Amino acid sequence: MHWSSLLDARRLGPGTAAQAELFPGEDEPDQNPFQTDGDRIVFSRPFRRLQQKTQAHPLPFNAHVRNRLVHTLEVAAVGRSLGYAVGTHLAEELAEAGRRPDDLGYLTHAVCLAHDIGNPPFGHAGEEVIAANMTRWMNEVGENSGLELDADLRHFDGNAQGFRILTHSDGHRGTGGLRLTVASLGATLKYPWEGTDPRAARGGVPGVKFNVFATERAVLAEVREACALDGPLPRHPAVWLMEAADDIVYTLADLEDALELGILRYADYAALIAPLAEVSAVSLDREADEIGRVTLLRTLATRRLQRAVTEAFLVHHDSILAGSLKPRESLTGLLAATAPALHDALTVAAERTEEVVFFNARKVEFEIGAHDVLGKALSVFLPACLAFAQANGDEARLTFRQRQALSLLLDYRPRAGMSSSEVMRCAVDFVAGMTDTYASWLAAKLRGLDTRV
């Protein structure tokens, strides 16, 4: 892979998802195209909805606890620094492609802004609920519907939903989505394959980790060709930086939020983060209060991890550009060879995060409730979309209740001329796009409950 293709600034659109089209775009001569990508993501409706979506702790009552939007902004800040740092070391290499270090910084910043844009309500629990419901629906209804439906309708991944948002379902719906550069689209592909690909399986379960639905297959092909993504693992180099930024931020921030919520004691937090920050007790004692000590620990740990990840990228530069690193590998994982003590400390922190956060009673209660909340919404919208598809888009053939259900889909309402799979994806788009609070409110309303009580 070569930077001239990897930093291709042509934009997607205005062709359809089935016939992707690239065009030069309308970027101002004094504006970086990848910075424009970041701006388009920030001003999009799905990005705004992240402010009411779960990061680690559902519906937090404490405003200092991170939601998915705050998490995203923090990841983007770290990602921009990583991109620029790597770009600075590769300045001569980038110059040969007519690019500069800040191009890689802006590109990594943009894809970090987009990295969670497809996440459904209630985080990973929501992903599992939607996937389980769609598998059951396909087995019981879809396969007997008389329609030609894509096999991957039984799967769901927030990464694939994000790619669909960026390229198809939001912005210019069906004609390029947010119309980002192909470089930014290529750099969102953590798992550059479809849900039915064997590489998408985890623990014997198919369709768990993938980046593209069949409805966006043509766009994937266009992006991969434009960026010349190649090798056994055809990942854009900026993907590795985006993923590392996410690893750094959520490991540190989830523990900080646990401290904020009283789930974790300060002494335990400091014992976990001090080895990452490489800070002395004397330095910590100079801070006036616990808040200052936490800030110092987080800041120093982040800087140290950024430097280590930059070094790891440079060490594995050739393998990254050859697309020859193994699937499930990561830059933070590769620290085991380049910075073993730091890697071990990060691993301990991540394991502790799983213990204190993932099995916290309040979090578990909300995530179990997600099965009921999202299941109820899908049970209303899937039948309505199915009736629409079976009627070939003729709403006059639908029942009054089916038309009512479709009216609730708002921006994601199906349109005549869509394929059957595209129509069914409209129901998933709407449910996956809901915020935690709206999903809970709507599920209650759909049951006829008074939400004012």
Banded pLDDT at 20 (limits 50, 70, 90):
low
Q: What is the pLDDT of residue 451?
A: 63
Average pLDDT, the chain: 92
Distance CA(10)–CA(42), nearest Å, equals: 20
Distance CA(143)–CA(145), nearest Å, equals: 6
Domain range 121-155+360-453, its CATH number among 1.10.3550.10, 3.40.50.970, 1.10.30.50, 2.40.170.20: 1.10.3550.10
Contact between 378 and 133 (Cβ < 8 Å): yes
Architecture of domain 3-120+157-227: Orthogonal Bundle (1.10)
Give the pLDDT mean for 3-10.
96
Choice among 22-26, 85-89, 103-107, 330-334 with the minimum mean pLDDT: 22-26
**CA geometry: angle 281, 283, 287, nearest 5 deg:** 105
Condensed to tens digits (0 to 9), the pLDDT of residues 123-132 reads: 888 999 999 9
Residue 370 half-sphere exposure, CB side, CA atoms within 13 Å?
31
Contact between 222 and 59 (Cβ < 8 Å): no
Banded pLDDT at 56 (limits 50, 70, 90):
confident
Architecture of domain 237-359: Orthogonal Bundle (1.10)
For the chain, what are the domain ranges? 3-120+157-227, 121-155+360-453, 237-359
